[in-house]
Amino acid sequence: MQDINVLYIIITFIILAIIGGIIYHVLRFMKGKITLTIPIKVFNLNDVINGNFELHTKKTIQGNKLLVRLIGKHISISYKDGKTKKRTSEVYRDEITIEQNKTYQAGSVATYNFELPLPKEHKSELANSKVVKTAEAVFDLFDDGMDSVEWDVVVILDAKGVDLKASQTISTNILLKDIRYSPDPISR
């Protein structure tokens, strides 16, 4: 009997979560949308991401901040005993503020251009030392998985109520050892 009650509670929470997600997306859709365009999708270290986005409002929106953010995530996939384990951690964050404290009128359409720099190469003298290079080679021998850095460009209209958001994933040849962790956004 108690097992059935626990099952009902779990099912109720799942249904409420699904309904909440649907309501959130409907409210977001009713406010407006952001369409992000990045013509070039592959970048190198020190490149600048050029893109634009269109903000289309369906209702009047009181915006706190309109920003473009670059997020780098370290993804580590390992295989052990026939099981796959995936871990993700943020290793880089940078953002530029486009506008602050603005009211966007209902039915307005605006296009914004942006330039967002990728990280500069970060190599210390220690990183170039033979000891560190030897240690990296030893760790690579024992690594049983795959590591990569995934990059997302995200446009966010932080607004009163529900935020508007759009994102795209870009490709780079930037390795984890080439960047320095940036826990706080670097605002421009």
pLDDT for 124-177, tens place per residue? Answer: 444 455 555 565 555 554 555 567 788 999 999 998 888 899 999 998 876 666
Give pLDDT, residue 187: 45
Give the residue from 96, 33, 82 showing the smallest Cα distance to 59.
33
**Are 187 and 96 spatial neighbours (Cβ–Cβ below 8 Å)?**
yes
Residue linked to tokens 């690594």: 143
Token code pair at residue 41: 């999708």
Helix, strand, coil percentages for the chain (3-state, nearest 5): 25, 50, 25
* Least confident stretch, 7-11, 54-58, 83-87, 171-175: 171-175
**Are 68 and 116 spatial neighbours (Cβ–Cβ below 8 Å)?**
yes
**Is the overall model pTM greater than 0.75, yes or no?**
no
Domains assigned to the chain: 32-178 (2.60.40.640)
Per-residue confidence at 183, pLDDT binned at 50, 70, 90?
very low
Instruction: Say yes or no to pLDDT of 14 above 80.
Output: yes
Residue scoring higher pLDDT (6 or 137): 6
Give pLDDT, residue 157: 94
> What are the tens digits of pLDDT across the range 26-37?
666 667 899 999
Residue linked to tokens 């670097």: 186
Percent of the chain with pLDDT over 90: 34
**Cβ atoms within 10 Å, residue 155:** 24
- The β-bridge partners of 103 are 62
